[in-house]
Amino acid sequence: MNDLRPDLTTCDREPIRIPGSIQPHGVLFVLSAGRTVEAISANAAALTGRSAGEALGLSLEALVPDLDPELLDALTGPLPVDRTQPLGSLRRGAVRYDAMAHAVGPHVVLELEEVPPGQADSRQIQALIGGVVTHLQSVRTVAEGLQAVARTVRELSGFDRVMIYRFDASWTGTVIAEDRNDALPSYLELRFPASDIPQQARDLYRLNRVRQIPDASYSPVPIATRLGGPIDLGFSALRSVSPVHVEYMNNMGTQASMSVSILIEGELWGLISCHNKLAKRVPPEARSACDLVAQILSMRIASEAVHGDAAERVAKQGALTRLLAAMAASPNYAAGLATLPDALLALTGAEGAAISHEGRVTLIGRTPDVASVRAIIGWLQGDGDQGVFATASLPAVMPAAADFADAASGLLALSLSQVRSTHVLWFRSEVIHTVSWGGDPRKQFEAIGPDTRISPRKSFEAWRETVRRTSRPWSPAEVDAADNLRRAIVEILLKRAEEMASLTEDLQRSNRELEAFSYSISHDLRAPFRHIVGYAELLSERYGEQFDEKARHFLHNITESAHTAGKLVDDLLHFSQLGRVQVHPVRVDMNKLMSEVIRSLAFETRDREIEWHISDLPPATGDAGLIRQVLFNLVSNAVKYTRGRTPALILVSGRVAETPGGRETAYTVSDNGIGFDMAYVDKLFQVFQRLNRSEDFEGTGIGLALVRRIVERHGGRTEAIGEIGRGATFTFALPERAAERI
């Protein structure tokens, strides 16, 4: 079955620049370099006395023998390719023609337009233009002067209705000013869909500022040609218009129209759109005057836009400067931005913001919840994660956003990394408003017949629509301010990365030197301590009976001190070697490891009353030998520092938990021993830091430092809690995916 739905892109593809015909209120010639006629409109016979077929190939002078020599000279000189150039006028009986020409490739298009009866009053034209210029200079804003512009153009042209029509970003047009009589209805403040003026028509409005259709019921005049291809009439004043546009005019109840483009920096801002109930031709002088008024208005609009935009950008720069200072003084950009929530919101005029950094989301102001923000970030990443993304209707592009449109109909987002989920987002709430359209925009065209030819809508009565799930649009200054922040953050991140890389290199070199030094010292010290112990023992064996009790005590102390020093050297050697040890992560059975640790402590616990409370321990991911060292050091400390407790209680447990940084497995060793003062907790994990006398408890003060270093090598963390006389609890936690961090 054939699809009979109309193709709404037909108008965008219609060859409106090469219609092959002109409107009948003038004559058109296409001339080669020698002023030979290569193409001619069929109605030229009234001027030349020859049919179009007979005229082809003849010189212009042969067809129109009494042309002004200056006009002929102008046709052989350089002519503009982007506009028509007036060349004066000529008469044929009672008819006066205005001549104009422009170049199209190697050819010249000459148009002779009939001038309607009646002479334009140049003094009146000058007075009207002078009046509107004065008015535009006196008003504070352009909006206050638009009505005067519409009135002036109507006085210059004599049309029944003159509207100033502005385009938005989607090319929907709104009538923002109007001057009229009672012949035609008012369209003031009505909107018209982008399809009313297709893309290629907008392109022509941008290139050719003035277009006139004196009579919508005209019969197109064909062009006879021997060029073998179509003629581009994009800049022709007489160009025939699309049949769809003619039908559109008829549906509006207008017989004549004229449009004058309002251009800002070469781009189409809007139109001065003129309509008349009856056929009407506007003299070239009046059309030129209307064009001049439009250009004056364009300059006033551009000036206001530049000044307003500049003021807005200055204000944004102040907020950006404060944010840059905060980021420079903070450990990372996210912390810096969060310290100045007001400046962050003022930068883009947002009502809420979210900062996503290293898996954490910080919310500021009015925002969706964290889960919704994460969903938006996921959508951005799936959609290509542009550097800067802005929309005033997030639900239109992300349907799931309809659930939180009240807080986030508008989104302005920065992506700071292609690798990590690092974003800054700003939100604007939903603004519910009513829009009045000039006819139902959903019924843009109607299908006619089996070929589904499209016809423009026939009704232009006001049709109201309630618009939801949209916010105030983001201005160019706001989007640029966000982009400037993105560039600044990226620059800060790159600078810090370079500094960190340099610092890391220096630290690695220093660590290697320090480890080598520690290894060398530790290794060299072991031999002297072994000698001290050996000679002390030899002295005791040979001469011990000759010593008195005091001498034997001294000799014992020498031996014990040498043993302790040797153990200290061994621990130091182990500690220094840890930085060079290759870590081999595997899945570790912690229950089995715990059993091995208890067995290895059997000698120390053989005469002790100890109650062991060991829970089922979840497995860990890490180097089995190093993890055993951690568990052994913590459990042996618990055995040592519960000496004197009857019974001694030692509890070992483990759990898997969710943290802001991801899942981790934590293990806890608790006891009811002597405990410690929490004021000194930071010293516990430092080398040689002991909170008890060595005479009371043996040890070198390196065990807990070794624990922390091993756990940190696995990307984990350690902590301790204690109370004097009431025991201590030590915890070490390993990330669930520690293997990827090692």
448 pLDDT above the threshold of 60: no
Res 563: pLDDT: 66
Q: Are residues 240 and 19 in contact, defined by beta-carbon separation less than 8 angstroms?
A: yes
Domain boundary among 114, 148, 174: 114
Domain containing residue 42: CATH number: 3.30.450.20
Q: Which residues contact 506 (CB under 8 A, 6 or more apart)?
A: none
Whether residues 28 and 159 share a domain: the answer is no
User: What average pLDDT does range 518-524 have in this prediction?
Assistant: 63
Give a yes or no: residue 554 inside a domain.
no
Domain boundary among 285, 308, 331: 308
CA-wise closest residue to 566 among 534, 542, 538, 597: 534
Confidence of residue 3 (pLDDT cuts 50, 70, 90): very low
User: What length is written for the chain?
Assistant: 742
More confident residue, 553 or 646: 646
Res 739: pLDDT: 42
More confident residue, 582 or 401: 401
Confidence of residue 523 (pLDDT cuts 50, 70, 90): low
205 pLDDT above the threshold of 60: yes
Domain containing residue 130: CATH number: 3.30.450.40
Lowest mean pLDDT among 263-277, 358-372, 401-415, 686-700: 686-700
Question: Per-residue pLDDT tens for 180-195?
Answer: 999 999 988 888 888 8
Whether residues 34 and 182 share a domain: the answer is no
Q: Which residues contact 513 (CB under 8 A, 6 or more apart)?
A: none
Whether residues 628 and 655 share a domain: the answer is yes
Q: How far apart are CA 171 and CA 206, in angstroms?
A: 13
Structure tokens at 175: 């009538």
Res 412: pLDDT: 93
Q: How far apart are CA 337 and CA 323, in angstroms?
A: 6
Please, what is the average pLDDT of the chain? Answer: 82
Whether residues 585 and 727 share a domain: the answer is yes
More confident residue, 328 or 500: 328
| Residues facing residue 107 across a β-bridge | 104
Confidence of residue 699 (pLDDT cuts 50, 70, 90): very low
Res 7: pLDDT: 46
740 pLDDT above the threshold of 50: no
Whether residues 154 and 99 share a domain: the answer is no
Confidence of residue 738 (pLDDT cuts 50, 70, 90): very low
Give a yes or no: residue 299 inside a domain.
yes
Look up the pTM and report it. Answer: 0.59
Res 650: pLDDT: 92
Res 487: pLDDT: 85
| Residues of the domain holding 695 | 581-741
625: number of Cβ within 10 Å: 12
Res 68: pLDDT: 84
436 pLDDT above the threshold of 70: no
Q: Are residues 183 and 274 in contact, defined by beta-carbon separation less than 8 angstroms?
A: no
- How are beta strands 728-735 and 433-438 bridged, if at all? unpaired
Lowest mean pLDDT among 117-126, 144-153, 434-443, 664-673: 434-443
Q: Which residues contact 476 (CB under 8 A, 6 or more apart)?
A: 309
Whether residues 605 and 665 share a domain: the answer is yes
Q: How much of the chain exceeds pLDDT 90, in percent? A: 31
Whether residues 143 and 91 share a domain: the answer is no
Domain boundary among 249, 273, 308: 308
Q: How far apart are CA 656 and CA 733, in angstroms?
A: 9
Whether residues 83 and 36 share a domain: the answer is yes
Q: Which residues contact 713 (CB under 8 A, 6 or more apart)?
A: 578, 583, 626, 742
User: What average pLDDT does range 458-479 have in this prediction?
Assistant: 75
Exposed/middle/buried for 81, CB within 10 Å: 0-12, 13-18, 19+? Answer: exposed
User: What average pLDDT does range 596-609 have in this prediction?
Assistant: 86
Lowest mean pLDDT among 363-372, 558-567, 613-622, 659-668: 558-567
